[in-house]
Every structure is written in C-alpha cells, then in structure tokens.
Amino acid sequence: MNAAASNASQVGDQTAKPSNFNLPNVLTSLRIILIPLFVWLVLRADDQHLSWMWGAFALFVALMITDKLDGDIARARGLVTDFGKIADPIADKALMTSALVCLNITGVLPWWVTVVIVIREFGITMWRMFQLRAGRVVPASKGGKLKTALQTLAVGLYLCPLPEWMNLPTWIVMLAAVAVTVYTGIQYLIDSRRISDDDSDRN
C-alpha cells in the first residue's frame, strides 16, 4: 500500500461513525431494560418488607449513575451515536416518570407533581426536536443539571424508608425540584424564542 492510500485509509478510519454496539449504548439499553424490575420492586414493597424498597432505592441510584457514565464515556471516547442521542433521553425520562408514577400509586406523592414534571419534560423534548428540524440549536438551560439533581434527590428520598420526621424535608426537596423544573422549562422556551427572532431578523 502506497503512502497516499495509507493516508486515505487513516482519514477514513478517523471519520467513520462509531458502532451502535458500544459501552455507552449498552449502559443506556440496560437502563431501559431494568426499569420494569425497578417498578416491580417499588410496588412490591410495604411496611413489612422494607428490603424491597431498599432494593428499589439501590437500583434507582445505580441506574442514575449509568445515566452519568454513558454520556461521559461517549463524549470522552468519541462514541456518540444517533442511537445514543435518541435512546439516552428516552431512558432518562422513562425512569423518572416510572419512579414518580410508582410513588403516586403507593400514595406517598400527589399526582399533580408527576403531571407537572412529565408535561414539562416531554413538552420540552418535543419542542427541542421541532427546533432541530428547523435548523435551530437551543442550548440546554443552565439550570438543567440542578433540575436533574433535585429530581433525583427528591425521588431517592421518597424511595428510602426514612423515619416519619423526614416527610416534611423530603416534600420540600420535591417542591424545589418541581419549581426548578418549571423555571428551566420556561427559560428554555424564552431562549428558543429569542433564537427564532434572531434568525428571522437575519433573513
């Protein structure tokens, strides 16, 4: 093989898209596959069988850790794929929605909390896809990480079999999560509108 062919081969290898079968996508898929087990553990638990709830809590924490790991690994190793871009947010929202609905069913969380969070999450996701199809990229809200952290903390506290005096602090954390969720959703829409107006002015 001559030098030119070798260089062309190297360039081709560098620009080749990563395979969908990689570690980040496996972690994402595993997160989706294990959601039914998480739901079963939560609904199986009761006051006489707290070990089931501790199991649900441990699994929830593990799945949220994989949410952090798959994105970090994909970006660090150049393994970002179209599958990952679609499956990762689906896995995130499926897990959080499942957790909230389970807490509703068990009677520890009012339904309006889940309704507000789910409408915001899926509404913004659909709007983001619409913006991308229009060729506009709206950066994630600066409070996005705080929103995720508060939602995770709130759900985690509700999953833990904590003493009764922790009910109020747990509820306060959940209210904070709802407030930040709504605020970041509104902020995203404002930023999106601003970018749309800028595009219109340039045209």
Q: What is the mean pLDDT of residues 174-196?
A: 89
107 touches 50 (CB < 8 A): no
169: in domain: yes
Is it the case that residue 199 has pLDDT exceeding 80?
A: no
40: in domain: yes
25: in domain: yes
Q: What pLDDT does 11 receive?
A: 46
pLDDT band per the 50, 70, 90 thresholds, residue 124: confident
2: in domain: no
Q: What is the mean pLDDT of residues 103-127?
A: 92
Q: What pLDDT does 201 receive?
A: 56
Percent of the chain with pLDDT over 90: 44
pLDDT band per the 50, 70, 90 thresholds, residue 2: low
Q: What pLDDT does 24 receive?
A: 82
Domain count, the chain: 1
pLDDT band per the 50, 70, 90 thresholds, residue 94: very high
Select from 86, 62, 60, 57 the least CA-distant residue to 74: 86
166: in domain: yes
Q: What is the mean pLDDT of residues 23-28?
A: 86
Residue that wins the pLDDT comparison between 9 and 187: 187
124: in domain: yes
12: in domain: no
Lowest-confidence region among 7-21, 52-66, 77-91: 7-21
CATH number at residue 139: 1.20.120.1760
User: Which pair of tokens denotes residue 172?
Assistant: 């306060």
**Alpha helices, H only, 134-203:** 144-159, 167-202
The whole-model pTM stands at 0.82
10: in domain: no
d(CA 69, CA 71): 6
Bridge partners of residue 46, in order along the sequence: 49
Select from 103, 123, 122 the least CA-distant residue to 113: 103
Range of the domain at 32: 20-196
Q: What is the mean pLDDT of residues 38-54?
A: 84
